[in-house]
Structure 1
Amino acid sequence: MQMTPSILYHSAVLFATLAMTGTAALNFLFFRKPRALVGVADSDLPMISVLVPARNEEATIEACVQSLLAMNYPNFEVIVLDDRSQDDTYDILCRLRDRDHRLRVLVGAEMPEGWYGKPHACWQLANASRGEYLLMTDADCTFTPDALLLALGAQREYKADVVSMCPDLKCEGFWEQMIIPLQYFIIFAFLPGPLIRLTPFPWFAAANGAFLFLSRETYFDVDGHRAVRRQLAEDIKFSQHVKRCGKTLWYGDGSRTYAVRMYHGLAEVWAGFSKNIFPAFSRDLPLLSVVLVFLFCTLVLPAPLAIWSWARHRPWENLALAAYLLTVAVRFGLSLRFPGAPAWAAPLLPLGWLSVIGIAINSIRQAYSKSGNTWKGRSYPKR
């Protein structure tokens, strides 16, 4: 059989999907849930400061703070910084503070030139903290009672300078359930988990800004969020910065540690990911373009090609069908691992990735527009 461009394409796609499947299988084995620290007396446990930046979070802040204050850890404080909210966030926080002395409420300073909102809020929180360890999270998260024991257990078991975990993603409606759980797919299919912990290379780095746990000493040793003060995707950039500083990073399965509903409906999904995707690639247009072409060729195109090949009775082109079925199998496996990744969305994987590609193109468009990115009522002009 002659090696035509079509055959070469199908063979390359099958090879790429086999690599994704192999990476996912590795992560199914080694992407671990943390184990809670046990056998340590309460008096020997370090003080932990839980730090929450909040801007216009009136819908979620009460549930977040209540879950934090309900944790079964003997020595912690919760500090929430109201980052100049324009809603009732501050009033809700004051009411909660009056009920529990472990909650401290700060009023954020005006954002200085050269900073973005969340890094500035996190930097203020860290400077106000009293704990030996810091847990940085987001105002739309809720936590299980063992969250701090799990974080400390992971830090000590894996001897990691920084611990981060992916959440249990709460999704409602078609588009949320279609697009948001693809974050699990990215982690499992593209990022070999053991390399995050065992290698010093910053391209093998991952973190979720909703769960960053590290010692206060480590935070200030790497210059904290001041090092990523002008980043919209500050969590990814912080994890890469940590590795460049020679620190170790452990990234694990936090689906039994905390939960978050990131966005509500397609409009928020579109706006939220548009804010992050291009900045996560350091605004490197050639790099992101290559990635988008790769995603289209390997995760979107094989399904329609398989149908077209079947209709033309070209059995050798069923390599495209094999590639499609392999990626669907990975997505289905994730639905068994994570409750926030519904199984019904697995066969529709190409539609999900086509949506992501559209959002990424919009992210590029936003970055080059005159107004730049807008988030939480703030505008970040193009650089």
Structure 2
Amino acid sequence: MLFYYLLAVLVFWVALAILLLMNAKKIRFLRDQPLAKVSPTVAVVIAVRNEEDNLAEALKSVCSLDYPNYRVMVVNDRSTDQTQTILESFTGQYPHLSVSVVSELPPGWLGKNHALQQGYLCTDSEWLLFTDADIVFDKAVLSRSMHYVTEHSLDHLTIFPEVKSRSLFLRSILQTFFIMLELRQKPWDARNPNSDAHMGIGAFNLVKRSSYQHAGTHSRIRLRPDDDLQLGRLIKSSGFSQDVLYGEDQIGLEWYTSVGEFIDGLMKNMFSVFDYNPFKALGTAISTFLVFTLPLPAALLSGNRWCILFGLAILVLQWLVMWFKPTRKQWWDFLTIAFAGAVMTYIVLKSTYKTLSQNGIVWRDSFYSLKELKKRSD
């Protein structure tokens, strides 16, 4: 039985290696794009809540973009720390920066989604760039992005940021997480109008205002913790064009500082990715464990020569997948795949259990029942 299990996993990793190695290179890099020759109006919309640790550096980079025709709209969503003080210090320095304050959250909304919706309503620009409060931009990001969307007649462009971490171990685990994300979302097919593949990333969602309005705005996803992915889904399913770029050297953030922080952060919204369906979540958790975590230790501990050879072959394939990724990596990232798979299995199971046991989620100090979360806001 173990022999056939490992053989099946080996076949899977061969297919996965072929799939990723053939398709990952189809995603272009933002840094390779030329600067824009025309400058449509752009509103950069940022929702902030208790962001005093990262806001100043990120906001300075946003306010210093080398693009002639943009404004920055920051919506302070009920912050209780020094966020508002930081924002007030910036408004005096940058006349193209505006700040709106949300003092009360209306029912039926998650705070961030409501804040982004309010930011959109406060602007009239031709394009909207939804981004997060901890993202640091290179000066040319907006110009290169606007060239790309105009050159390719896009309605929506999303960009993978370069995720940095002071923890080398977490950085290695994140490489496996991004492989899982790409395997699930197939971002290289987002530009294909005949494919259901779609993508949206909170760090950078640049969307044409008219397309965003036609798709229904954030009002359609008001109760989705995975608002970035859902925005990509809305745009693509509404028949608009979409593409994905890598933002290495152009867009960066330190997503989490430790493995524990990473686990806690993903725990909050992981179950929503499966549309609150426990069977989808359980199936994903089991398959993740069987494909990423179990094969190597099972093979090495089997004592069977063929099983050990299969395990080593799987390890070589994992190295190939990691080594030939077009983005920055460490040579030993493939050695953490089994552990990363266990971490992701735990996150999916714990998030599912936690949401079901408390019959909802706590999001930014507000409780939302599972019944409410499952309701469609279309």
Letter in 1 for 2:310: L
Question: Is 2:246 aligned against 1:253?
Answer: yes
> CA contact under 8 A between 2:300 and 2:308: conserved in structure 1?
no
| CA distance 1:27–1:157, change in 2 (3 Å) | farther
CA deviation after TM superposition for structure 1 residue 73, in Å: 0.5
**Structure 1 counterpart of 2:203:** 210
Alignment-derived partner of residue 298 in structure 2 = 305
Flag the 1:110–1:28 CA change in 2: closer, same or farther, 3 A. Answer: same
The structural deviation recorded for 1:190 is 4.6
Is the Cα–Cα contact under 8 Å of residues 212 and 235 in structure 2 kept in the other structure? no
Counterpart in the other structure of 1:33: 29
Of 345, 349, 352, the match for 2:333:
345
AA aligned to 1:365 is Y
Are 1:14 and 2:10 matched, yes or no?
A: yes
Q: CA deviation at 1:298?
A: 1.2
Are positions 1:331 and 2:325 aligned together?
no
- Which residue of 199, 219, 230 corresponds with 2:212? 219
Unmatched segments (≥5 aa) in structure 1: none
Aligned counterpart in structure 1 of residue 310 of structure 2, from 319, 323, 343: 319
- Provide the C-alpha distance between the structure 2 equivalents of 1:215 and 1:96, rounded to a whole number of angstroms: 27
Contact 2:173 2:336 in 1 (8 A): no
Q: Is the 8 A contact 2:211 2:235 kept in 1?
A: no
Shift of 1:159: 2.4
2:129 and 2:70 map into 1 onto residues whose CA distance is 10
* SS of residue in 2 equivalent to 1:181: helix
* Count of equivalent residues: 370
Unaligned stretches of 5+ in structure 2? Answer: 372-378
CA distance in 2, matches of 1:87, 1:302: 47
Deviations 1:89-123 (A, max 9, x none): 01100011011101101102522111111111110
- In 2, Cα distance between equivalents of 1:278 and 1:7: 33
Contact 1:54/1:85 (8 A) holds in 2: yes
Contact 2:10 2:310 in 1 (8 A): yes
Q: How much does 1:300 deviate?
A: 0.8
Quick one: distance in 2 between partners of 1:380 and 1:59? Answer: 27
Instruction: Give the deviation of 1:371 after TM superposition.
Output: 6.8
The corresponding residue for 1:264 is 257
Corresponding letter in the other structure for 1:323: I
Q: What letter corresponds to residue 327 of structure 2 in structure 1?
A: F
8 A Cα contact 1:179 1:352, kept in partner: yes
Q: Once the 2 structures are TM-superposed, how far is the Cα of residue 333 of structure 1 from its aligned partner?
A: 3.1
* Matching of residue 70 in structure 1 with residue 70 in structure 2: no
Cα distance between partner residues in 1 of 2:25 and 2:191: 15
Q: Distance in 1 between matches of 2:268 and 2:345?
A: 14
Higher alpha-carbon deviation: 175-184 or 134-143: 175-184
Whether 1:119 aligns to 2:120 is: no
The match for 1:287 among 280, 283, 296 is 280
Counterpart contact for 2:202–2:228, Cα < 8 Å: yes
Q: Give me the identity figure in percent.
A: 24
Q: Aligned-pair distance for 1:188?
A: 4.4
Residue deviations 1:29-57 (CA, integer Å, cap 9, x gap): 211113445462xxx41111111100000
In structure 2, C-alpha distance between the alignment counterparts of 1:346 and 1:316, rounded to whole Å: 19
CA contact (8 A) 2:117 2:219 kept: yes
Task: Identify the residue that residue 94 of structure 1 maps to in structure 2.
Answer: 88
**Match of 2:242, as an amino acid?**
L
Give the SS at the match of 1:251: strand
Structure 2 distance, partners of 1:271, 1:379, is: 17
